[in-house]
Amino acid sequence: MKDVVILGIESSCDETAAAVVRNGRQVLSSVVNSQIEIHKEYGGVVPEIASRNHVRNIDCVVKAALDEAGVTPFDLDGIAVTYGAGLVGALLVGVSFAKSLSQATGVPLIKVNHIEGHICANYITHPELEPPFVCLLASGGHTAVVMVESYTDYSVLKTTIDDACGEAFDKVARTLGLPYPGGVWVDKLAREGKNTADFKSAVMKDGNFSYSGLKTGVINYVHNMSQKGLEINKNDVAKSFTMAAVKGLVDEAADTAAASVKKLCVAGGVGANSYLREYAAEICAKKGVALFLPELKYCGDNAAMIAAQGYFLMRENKDIADFSLNACPTLTLKTK
Ligand code: KG4
Ligand code: ZN
């Protein structure tokens, strides 16, 4: 069969990324230009600054990805672009660039849901992986347990009713005075900490998740300690929070996998969390579930995962877009 080469473009938040992927799994190039250093001084992503930097960078990032892969735009079989969810101005930069490139070359345009892209990161790391599998999805904007029925069909089984898991990591980091992006710093501190605060788990009785209460619980704990003039142990707070945020989420996903397809994948930025990865390995081994973790570089935002999903969509003739394609900031993962 002829190889299918897809260019992926991602600009939903503060990473300008482009990648060239062959047959949905072989990464020929993956370029990520992160704006972390720029947004650090504001303690979070400033949408307008993010958009301006995407405009400044996208040309070079796409060119670098094409050059590194040794292809020209005319060699491509598809151009896959993230059209949601994310920051509207940021998304529009990628969408507009992809539309222009598609129009100039005649290469088909494929619209990709960022969240579906995160799930597809697993096909890159694990060439043998095929659906169906259960996916624990945890990023800065989404938290869910999903049944991945096929390469393009999903059932959302459990979800957060308020904040996302990554968002809670970032807010707790801020409360502890840690730099942006917070998740990775909480992870580092937690490695040397103990679960002394014993915060309430983010899993609710019905198996869905709520991170807003947990986040408030941590903020109150830190304030109470400071009102009493007591020193907090940041390592212990980070560890206590991480366990409350992650343990129940992993249990829920692993139980779902154990009762069904016996395969569990992890996706999204929080998938890089060291406790999550270790605990998932331990619990899956106990329950007889095969665990698939994406490489760390494919947990956070990247364009290889977007190109991968573009390939699977194109193969099924789904989500081929025309030049009326617009950004969709509130796009969700839907049960299809
Ligand atoms: O998937 P992602 O890169 O972007 C979104 O689609 O949202 O996820 C970003 C989130 C942030 O909230 C960040 O703090 C969190 O992932 N994150 C982590 C770690 N690395 C990134 N959270 C916990 N532990 C980490 N090691
Ligand atoms: Zn993401």
Q: What is the pTM of this model?
A: 0.97
- Which residues are CB-neighbours of 140 under 8 A, at least 6 positions away? 13, 164, 166, 167, 170, 183, 268, 269
Query: What is the rounded radius of gyration, in angstroms, for the C-alpha atoms of the chain?
Result: 20
Q: Whose CA is nearest to atom 2 of ligand 1?
A: 269
What is the separation, in whole angstroms, between the first and last Cα of the chain? 29
CA distance 121 to 144: 16
- 33 — pLDDT class (breaks 50, 70, 90): very high
Using 50, 70 and 90 to split pLDDT, how confident is the model at 285? very high
Q: Counting runs of H as helices and runs of E as strands, what totals does the chain give?
A: 10, 11
- pLDDT of 60 reads 98
pLDDT tens, 166-192? 999 999 999 999 998 899 999 999 999
State which of 175, 270, 295, 306 you would mutate to test the pocket of ligand 1, scoring each by most atoms of that ligand within 8 A of its C-beta. 270
- Does the beta carbon of 14 lie inside 6 Å of ligand 1? no
Q: Which amino acid is at 189?
A: L
- Give the strand order in the sheet containing 143-148: 154-159, 143-148, 133-138, 263-267, 290-292
Strands annotated E in the chain: 5-10, 15-22, 26-34, 78-84, 109-113, 133-138, 143-148, 154-159, 263-267, 290-292, 320-321
- Assess whether the C-beta atom of 283 lies below 6 angstroms from ligand 1: no
* CB of 86 closer than 6 angstroms to any ligand 1 atom: no
Distance 113 CA to ligand 2 centre (A): 10
Assess whether the C-beta atom of 184 lies below 6 angstroms from ligand 1.
yes
The pLDDT tens digits of the residues spanning 238-275 come to: 999 999 999 999 999 999 999 999 999 999 999 999 99
Q: Are strands 320-321 and 15-22 parallel, antiparallel or unpaired?
A: unpaired
Contacts of 192 (CB under 8 A, 6+ apart): 235
Are 77 and 314 a contacting pair, CB within 8 Å? yes
Q: Report, as an integer, the average pLDDT of 322-327.
A: 97
Beta bridge pairs of residue 7: 20, 79
Q: Does 139 have pLDDT greater than 70?
A: yes
Ligand 1 touching residue 294 (CB < 6 A): no
Nearest atom (ligand 1) to Cα of 114? 6
Atom 7 of ligand 1 has which residue's CA nearest to it? 140
Q: What one-letter code names the amino acid at 77?
A: D
